[in-house]
Chain A
Amino acid sequence: MNPDDRWDDEVRDAYHRPIEGEAQARERGIARLRREARARRSRMGAWWVDPDVLRVRPLVFAASLLAVLVIGAWAGARWMASRGAPAPPRSIATLTGESTAVTFVFRAPGATRVSLVGDFNGWDPNATPLARATTGDVWTTRVSLEHGLHAYAFVIDGRDWAPDPSAPLAPVTTFGRRNSLLVVGEDQAL
């Protein structure tokens, strides 16, 4: 055996010879890595709760806020549309013999008093007051009307006249504002 071969054997033996304490060193290394990972996770949790100073450019902040608002409004509108818009209150007529009982419904946000005027009560603002429904700004009253064509309007707080948004409009504006039209006994215009 030449000297080179013997050298190679010795190196190979030394390479494969078990190192004293190797297993313990491996365990210590793994334990150290785990401790460092736990410490890193702890520092990330603290980032969310510990007081700190965030450095943000005002322009970037404003743009981000605007984007959030726009996206929120868009998403909210889509959600409302998917649910269907709330139907406006409608007046309803029910046939009861020669006359017809008509329930008039009117939405008047902020009103303190609403009354019904029409050719059936001499256009008297004090004759037919509406009662506020439990739902807040919706007002209702029930009136028995003779068959035929009726013109009517709502008076809000004794001064503002408004037509019924759900009913046909009268074509002429003789005294300023249009009236609504109601046909009773034909095919129930409302």
Chain B
Amino acid sequence: MRRRLAWALTALWLVSGRAYGDESEEARLRARLKPEVATSVIEVVRSAAAQGLPTAPLVARALEGASRQAEDAAILDAVRRYSAGLAAARRALGPTARASELDAGAGALMAGVPEDSLASLRRARPSGSLVIPLVVLSDFVARGVPVASASNTVLAATRAGAADPALLRMRERIHERILRGEEPTGASREGLRELLMKTPGTPKERGNRDPHEKGRP
């Protein structure tokens, strides 16, 4: 009897907490957006929640649009597209992907990274978090590295077993090279080469091969 009561209370606490969270998000949206825009955005958010997608990134996107004084249609469009991006990221990364992975994956997909690349990343790191690899990939695309080169660079590094700190160091080195005026594709190639040369257990000759060549990595 006590156990049932405990389960009931726990369930009630979870439901109330979830409901409170949703109400809190909706209240924030209504406080910052025009009523009709807020209603439309809330519909998208509720639909995402029903699909089991994270809703915080959608709310954040709407609030960012409000702070940047974007047009109503642009805000609603951004929220809808990001919701679709989250759904696509879950398709690519699998049903067990964490909220932060879906968030990072949605951004990468919206920047033009194909779903196959995300799925390959998941296969390269089946149990570990993909947040840092996806953030590094997104950063490369944002800095002008072509999507194919950026995807291949991060995928090759992840397959080689590079840990997150090594990926972040590679990002910084490639960023510095681009700032010095190097062409982004060449900079990413050299950054990956340096990482592979320093990654334990990676054959040295592998670091001298071009990871961007066809059929690689």
Chains A and B are bound partners? yes
User: Mostly helix, strand, loop or mixed at chain B's interface?
Assistant: helix
Residues on B with beta carbons closer than 8 Å to the beta carbon of A172: 107, 110-111
**Beyond known contacts A168-B142, A183-B135: 20 more, CB 8 A cutoff:** A119-B56, A119-B64, A122-B32, A123-B63, A123-B67, A149-B103, A149-B104, A149-B131, A161-B68, A168-B139, A169-B143, A171-B107, A171-B111, A171-B142, A181-B138, A183-B132, A186-B100, A187-B165, A187-B168, A189-B132
User: A176 to chain B: which residues have CB within 8 Å?
Assistant: 68
**Interfacial residues of chain A within 121-152, with CB under 8 A of chain B in the complex:** 122-125, 148-149, 151
- Judge if B40 is at the interface, Cβ distance under 8 Å: no
A186 to B165, CA, bound (A): 10
Tell yes or no: A70 within 8 A of B by CB: no
Could you say which of A125, A172, A187, A189 has the most chain B C-beta atoms within 10 Å of its C-beta?
A172
B65 at interface, CB cutoff 8 A? yes
Any chain A CB within 8 A of the CB of B48? no
10 A-B pairs with least C-beta separation: A171-B111, A119-B60, A187-B164, A168-B139, A169-B142, A171-B138, A123-B67, A149-B100, A123-B64, A175-B68
Residue of B nearest to A127 (CB): B67
Q: List 9 A-B contacts (CB under 8 A).
A: A122-B32, A124-B67, A125-B67, A148-B103, A151-B60, A161-B68, A169-B142, A171-B108, A181-B104
A170 — which chain B residues lie within 8 A by C-beta? 107, 138, 142
- Taking residues whose C-beta sits less than 8 angstroms from the other chain, chain B's interface range is 35 or more
Does any Cβ of A come within 8 Å of B74's Cβ? Answer: yes
**C-alpha gap A15/B66 in the complex (Å):** 118
Q: Is A117 an interface residue (CB 8 A)?
A: yes
Say whether B67 contacts A117, CB under 8 Å.
Answer: yes
- Central interface residue in B70, B74, B113, B168, by most chain A CB within 10 Å: B168
Q: Does A107 contact B (CB under 8 A)?
A: no
Q: Which residues of B contact A151 (CB under 8 A)?
A: 60, 64
- Determine if B163 is an interface residue (Cβ-Cβ < 8 Å): yes
Q: What distance in Å separates the Cβ of A86 from its nearest Cβ neighbour in chain B? A: 15
Q: In the complex the two chains form, is B107's CB within 8 Å of A122's CB?
A: no
Point out which of A117, A161, A168, A169 has the most chain B C-beta atoms below 10 A from its C-beta: A168
With both beta carbons as reference points, the residue of chain B lying nearest to A167 in the complex is identified as B139
User: Which residue from chain B places its CB closest to the CB of A161 in the assembled complex?
Assistant: B68
Q: In the assembly, what is the distance between CA of A119 and CA of B163, in Å?
A: 27
Is B64 within 8 A of A168, CB to CB?
no
A174 sits at the interface (CB 8 A): yes
Of all chain A residues, the one with the shortest Cβ separation from B65 is A175
> Known contacts A119-B60, A171-B110; is A189 also within 8 Å of B135 by CB?
yes
- B28, B68, B78, B163: residue with the most chain A Cβ atoms closer than 10 Å: B68
Indicate whether B211 reaches chain A with its CB closer than 8 angstroms: no
Distance A186 CA – B56 CA, assembled complex (angstroms):
19
Interface flag for B171 (CB, 8 Å): yes
How does the 8 Å CB contact mask read for A142-166 relative to B, with 1 for contact and 0 for none? 0000001101000000000100000
Task: State A179–B139 Cα separation when bound (angstroms).
Answer: 11
Contact yes or no, B132 A174, CB < 8 A? no
Q: Tell me if A123 and B111 are in contact (CB < 8 A).
A: no
On whether A122 and B132 interact (CB within 8 A), knowing A169-B139, A170-B138, the answer reads: no
Q: Mark B131-174, 1 if CB is under 8 A from A, else 0.
A: 11001101101110000000000000000000111001001000
Q: State whether A186 touches B129 (Cβ < 8 A).
A: yes
Whether B138 and A169, one on each chain, are in contact in the complex, defined by CB atoms closer than 8 angstroms, is yes
Interface membership of B119, Cβ < 8 A: no
Contact with A along B51-79 (1 / 0, CB 8 A): 00000110011011111101000100010
- A168 partner residues in chain B, CB cutoff 8 A: 135-136, 138-139, 142, 171
Q: Which of B66, B100, B164 contacts A123 (CB 8 A)?
A: B66
| A175 and B135 contact, CB distance less than 8 A | no
Instruction: Evaluate contact between B74 and A178: CB separation under 8 angstroms.
Output: no
